[in-house]
Amino acid sequence: MFYEFVRGPMMWIAFVLFLCGILYQGRKLSKLVSVRRGLQAPPAPPLPARSRASTTDGRSLALRLALAKESLVGKYPALTLVSVVFHALVLVVPLFLTAHNVLLDQSWGFDLYSFRESVSDAFTVVVLGCCLFFFLRRLLAPRVRAISTFGDFFILFLVAMPFLTGFLAYHQFFAYEIVLVSHILAGELMLVAIPFTKLFHMIMFFVNRIY
Amino acid sequence: MLAFLKKIKSGSDNEPEVDAQLIKKMLDKHKDKIKLFMNSCIHCSLCAESCFLQTSHKDDPTYMPSHKLIHSIGKLYKRKGKVTRRELEEIRDIVWGKCALCTRCYCPVHIDIPEMVALARAVCRSQGVYPAYEEQGGAASGFASEEDVEGMLEGAAG
């Protein structure tokens, strides 16, 4: 019965809270962006067209390579790779998981493309590995530790839990029903937390750039 | 004027109270922006490499732009301006002592760190808390000595 509750009404509650939170934060952010737009200077004149020589000049390529080494990718290649893979898989895995698409089909009559289960399994392990990387980095790197708070570890835990419990449920480790309910609850908790915690950076990232 | 500034620098018992209302008023003018930036900061520390002061003090994470942001404007905002003079002096040491406002700092989430540091400086100045440059006096340093300043003040008065 509890399973039916978390799978049914509680899922609706989680989605409603998620959407209301997104709308509330979005309204605040749009106000900020519109105020900023009113203050913006007129657009700059267009830059002169590049000559053909500047794109094929060897010195230009060397300069670009040197600059690339000084960029974030050049200075933190491992972190960049882990971060890109992590953020991509966190979105992709839940959307294209066979089990989720079966539920989607049963509830709404449509489904998305599904990866093979072995592929989803491997992706889940990769996500968990990335979470471990971020956790260790936050704990061991002095610069990151200096500005880390409990909230930073908590949101990492929130993101890792659905993947960990999902992995355990799929492989039917421990008591399956308890693990499955934990998985659903973890997912719902993460969904509700997105608009109200630093997880909102998934949307703030783009808003800040517009702002 | 000089005596007043010296009094503030030395933190004597007769130091003026911090005007928390004024600080809050100054912060409220930029409230949405401060809140957006403080909520956007994901504590990634990627801004560290963009600050030349941090790269020349590699073992001291307090030079990180994010650390400066959190411990200056972040502290003022969280406390709604209710800080002690000692805390304002600590903020002064951060926003002047650890930041040149060169605007070189980069944030992956595009937080305008220099703007926040400049705001923290404005708040400190409003309370009469700023670096005591006059104490580095002497012609060789390029700063006016105490006697020079007193002479100038007397000349202006008289």
pLDDT digits (tens, 9 = 90+) for A112-153: 899 999 999 999 999 999 999 999 999 999 999 999 999 999
- From the CA of A76, how many Å to the nearest CA of chain B? 9
For chain B, how many structural domains are there in total?
1
Looking at residue A48, its pLDDT comes to 59
pTM metric for this prediction: 0.76
Residue B142 lies in a domain: no
d(CA B40, CA A211): 12
d(CA A104, CA A111): 6
pLDDT higher than threshold 50 for residue B11 = no
Residue B12 lies in a domain: no
Residues B113 and B105: beta-carbon distance below 8 Å: yes
Contacts 24+ apart (CB under 8 A), A131-139: A131/A86, A131/A156, A131/A159, A131/A160, A131/A163, A133/A82, A134/A82, A134/A86, A137/A79, A138/B43
Please name the residue of chain B whose CA is at the shortest distance from the CA of residue A137.
Answer: B44
Looking at residue A26, its pLDDT comes to 79
Residue B8 lies in a domain: no
Looking at residue A147, its pLDDT comes to 92
Q: Do A211 and B36 touch (CB under 8 A)?
A: yes
Residue B68 lies in a domain: yes
pLDDT higher than threshold 60 for residue B143 = no
Contacts of B24 (CB under 8 A, 6+ apart): B80, B81
Q: Of B62, B106, B110, which is closest to A208 when you measure between CB atoms?
A: B110
Is ipTM strictly over 0.90? no
Q: Do A75 and B49 touch (CB under 8 A)?
A: yes
DSSP state at residue B143: B
Please name the residue of chain B whose CA is at the shortest distance from the CA of residue A148.
Answer: B43
Phi-psi region of B79 (alpha: psi -120 to 50; beta: other; left: phi over 0): alpha
Q: Of A144, A147, A204, which is closest to B40 when you measure between CB atoms?
A: A204
- From the CA of B4, how many Å to the nearest CA of chain A? 36
Residue B133 lies in a domain: no
Q: Pick the closest to residue A160 from A148, A168, A171, A170 (CA basis).
A: A168
Residue B27 lies in a domain: yes
pLDDT higher than threshold 50 for residue B76 = yes
Domain enclosing residue B67, as ranges:
18-127
Residue B150 lies in a domain: no
> In the A/B pair of chains, how many CB contacts fall below 8 A?
66
Please name the residue of chain B whose CA is at the shortest distance from the CA of residue A141.
Answer: B45
By residue count, chain A amounts to 211
Encoded tokens for B32: 């949405």
Q: Of A72, A152, A198, which is closest to B46 when you measure between CB atoms?
A: A72
DSSP state at residue A109: S
d(CA B101, CA B71): 16
Residue B22 lies in a domain: yes
Over chain A (211 residues), the average pLDDT of each successive run of 10 is: 84 92 81 58 58 53 74 83 94 93 89 92 96 95 92 94 95 91 94 89 71 57
What residues of A are in contact with residue B106 (Cβ under 8 Å)?
Answer: 72
Measured CA distances, B121 to A31, B60, B67, B102 (Å): 26, 22, 16, 14
Please name the residue of chain A whose CA is at the shortest distance from the CA of residue B68.
Answer: A147
Residues A6 and A185: beta-carbon distance below 8 Å: yes
d(CA A204, CA A193): 14
